[in-house]
């Protein structure tokens, strides 16, 4: 019996890298389908392999896992967010951050395509950047020295790049590690969405950072709220930080009197835009379906 990490999944096959660095192809035994416990890229697995074919016998406990993209045991997620083409959506960004907070995966925000803004738009957008920095998130912008910004972040990590189709995930990874030579796509101006260039999740060794980095398929929407509504506030760090001061222990931060969160919004220590995301997600989880606000109008060109 051997042990290794699944680095690629395609058409029912799983490529596993063992401790010697050798990659072997396997399939999952039927018991996983029966238990609805599908192996994910990033999983550690016990397997047997002979003559280029093998079977996964057992999966190790996961440190964490994500539904979108489907990957397990990651240390860091680079959330690639375009400011234009496709248009910036704070709603979509906050959905991803909530999912990462729920999975206990550290996010790093990367804002791409700032070069397509004029000077005023770029200066105005710094207000949004500052909002996320105040929350405590690490932020990198496409106008930064990317090598200097990302090298200490990526070193010795298992990293997933995620974001909307056309946001620039593959372009970023090609800049950081040209040997990846990932295919990049263009954005359809009619649809304001990118053409899908990445169709599978693969972990790729990048010796420069001693890291494993995953490029993942993009998406045009992101609706993953698979937890009770009472937990939502825990996944907004700035809300979690003050919620203990609310008058009621079970405060939903929507309509109750004596709500410390709403007071913080009124005082400006919690941004109105972030609270709007919280309120919208709360209503979605409760079963109401408000109109999905895809674009933050302030940045529309």
Total number of domains constituting the chain: 3
Do 237 and 180 fall into the same domain? no
pLDDT band at 193 (very low <50, low <70, confident <90, very high): very low
Lowest-confidence region among 14-23, 167-176, 179-188 = 179-188
What pLDDT digit, counting tens, does each position of 210-245 carry? 999 987 777 656 667 889 999 999 999 999 999 999
Domain containing 32 equals 2-61
Final residue before a domain boundary, out of 61, 89, 104: 61
CB 219 within 8 A of CB 165: yes
Taking the C-alpha atoms of residue 147 and residue 113, their distance in angstroms, rounded to an integer, is 17
Do 84 and 197 fall into the same domain? yes
Q: How many helices (H) and strands (E) does the chain have?
A: 8, 15
Residues making up the binding site for GTP: 112-115, 163-171
Lowest-confidence region among 1-15, 150-164, 183-197, 202-216 = 183-197
CB 94 within 8 A of CB 277: yes
pTM: 0.84
Taking the C-alpha atoms of residue 118 and residue 28, their distance in angstroms, rounded to an integer, is 51
Do 75 and 211 fall into the same domain? yes
Do 207 and 244 fall into the same domain? no
Do 196 and 151 fall into the same domain? yes
pLDDT band at 187 (very low <50, low <70, confident <90, very high): very low
Residues making up the binding site: 112-115, 163-171, 246, 251, 253, 259
Residues making up the binding site for Zn(2+): 246, 251, 253, 259
CATH of the domain at 265: 1.10.40.50
Residues 6+ apart with CB under 8 A from 295: 87, 88, 89
Q: Is residue 45 part of a domain?
A: yes
Regarding predicted confidence, which is higher, 238 or 21? 238
């Amino acid at each position: 019996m051997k042990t290794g990490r699944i680095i690629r999944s395609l058409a029912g096959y799983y490529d596993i890298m063992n401790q010697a660095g050798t990659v072997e192809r396997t399939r999952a035994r039927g018991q996983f389908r029966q238990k609805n416990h599908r192996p994910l890229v990033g999983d550690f697995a016990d397997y047997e392999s002979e003559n280029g074919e093998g079977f996964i016998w057992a999966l190790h406990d996961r440190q964490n896992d994500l539904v979108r993209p489907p990957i397990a045991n990651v240390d860091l997620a680079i959330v690639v967010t375009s400011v234009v083409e496709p248009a910036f959506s704070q709603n979509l960004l906050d959905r991803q951050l909530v999912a990462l907070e729920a999975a206990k995966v550290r996010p790093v925000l990367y804002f791409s395509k700032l070069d397509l803004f004029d000077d005023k738009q770029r200066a105005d957008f710094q207000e949004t950047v500052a909002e996320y920095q105040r929350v405590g998130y690490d932020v990198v912008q496409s106008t930064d020295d990317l090598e200097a910004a990302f090298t200490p972040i990526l070193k010795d990590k298992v990293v997933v790049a995620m974001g909307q189709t056309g946001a620039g995930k593959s372009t970023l990874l090609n800049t950081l590690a040209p040997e990846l030579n990932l295919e990049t796509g263009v954005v359809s101006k009619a649809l304001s969405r990118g053409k899908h260039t990445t169709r599978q999740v693969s972990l790729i060794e990048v010796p420069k950072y001693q890291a494993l980095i995953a490029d993942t398929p993009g998406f045009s929407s992101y609706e993953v709220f698979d937890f009770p509504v009472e937990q939502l506030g825990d996944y907004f760090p700035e809300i979690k930080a003050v919620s203990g001061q609310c008058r009621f222990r079970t405060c939903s931060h929507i309509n109750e009197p004596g709500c410390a969160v709403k007071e913080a919004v009124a005082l400006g220590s919690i941004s109105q835009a972030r609270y709007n995301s919280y309120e919208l997600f709360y209503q979605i989880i409760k079963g109401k379906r408000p109109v999905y606000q895809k674009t933050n109008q302030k940045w529309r060109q």
